Amino acid sequence: KAGVTQTPRYLIKTRGQQVTLSCSPISGHRSVSWYQQTPGQGLQFLFEYFSETQRNKGNFPGRFSGRQFSNSRSEMNVSTLELGDSALYLCASSGGLALISFRTDEQFFGPGTRLTVL
């Protein structure tokens, strides 16, 4: 099975611009979660999408948004970029059945997109 794919792998933007990152989950997985990883704040949960609906959201400003398509692929968008948005953005996919089975599905992480804001 192919793993989680994230594109692009590296991105350089300037302050004020917006950016869209893409994530293709493992085939058959319905849940996609996004995390921001920085040296100072570590790994922080952004949001989770399941069957095209956002079902969990972290404590990030509204500049961070996402969506999920019918094929489970997901995109996240950051508008009006700030220097502090420079980070590794990780996508994780899982079967997404946790709310049904009450057993947490294993999450598989992609390699991430390294965003640098200048």
Partner 1 sequence: QQQVKQSPQSLIVQKGGIPIINCAYENTAFDYFPWYQQFPGKGPALLIAIRPDVSEKKEGRFTISFNKSAKQFSLHIMDSQPGDSATYFCAATKETSGSRLTFGEGTQLTVNP
Binding site for partner 1 (CB under 8 A): 4, 31, 33, 35, 42-45, 48, 50, 55-56, 58, 90, 92, 94, 96, 98-99, 102-112
Least distance between partner 1 and beta carbon 72 (Å) = 13
Backbone φ/ψ region at 17: left (φ over 0), alpha (ψ -120 to 50), beta: beta
Q: Between 16 and 61, whose beta carbon lies closer to partner 1?
A: 61
Look up residue 92 and give its two tokens: 């994780």
Name the minimum Å distance from CB 14 to partner 1.
Answer: 25
Using alpha carbons only, what angle is made at residue 65 by residues 14 and 106, rounded to the nearest 5 degrees? 115
If the CB atoms of residues 45 and 79 are measured against partner 1, the closer one turns out to be 45
Contact at 8 Å (CB) between 80 and 31?
A: no
